[in-house]
A = this chain, B = another copy of it.
């Protein structure tokens, strides 16, 4: 094995994600085409594993304390195009193709308001027809 081969192998080494003391890391979902930031949720090792195996975004619901496949109830799934880690490997970025809207309020993105409460985007679906 040459030095180059060793270096190359190190450069492309799988990144070890640094889960926090709760066993989670924040994951940002971004629309892979429009670049819109859709949501932030948390990911457990199992959620990340399931995401990579299925190509569909999974998270860990802190309120329900369970693995959560995005869109399980609403049908508004997120197909994974790429997963990135940040420089210190304690945050994940999901680049996704979003079906429907990401937010339970009916908006494409959960970030639909400025801090003063002004809504800066329109709804893309009616939550009352999606969540019965």
Contacts and interface: CB of A to CB of B under 8 A. Distances in A.
A83 B15 contact: no
A63 B68 CA distance: 31
B110 A13 contact: no
Q: Is the interface of A mostly helix, strand, loop or mixed?
A: loop
Contact of A105 (B87, B104, B120): B87
A125 interface: no
Interface in A100-119: 103-105, 107, 110-119
Given A28-B40, A35-B36, A118 B12 contact: yes
Number of copies of this chain that the complex holds: 2
A123 B37 CA distance: 23
Contacts of A115: 14-15, 17, 52, 83-85, 92
Contacts of A30: 37
Contact of A28 (B34, B37, B114, B119): B37
B12 A117 contact: yes
Among all A-B residue pairs, the 5 with the closest Cβ atoms: A35-B35, A86-B110, A84-B111, A40-B91, A87-B110
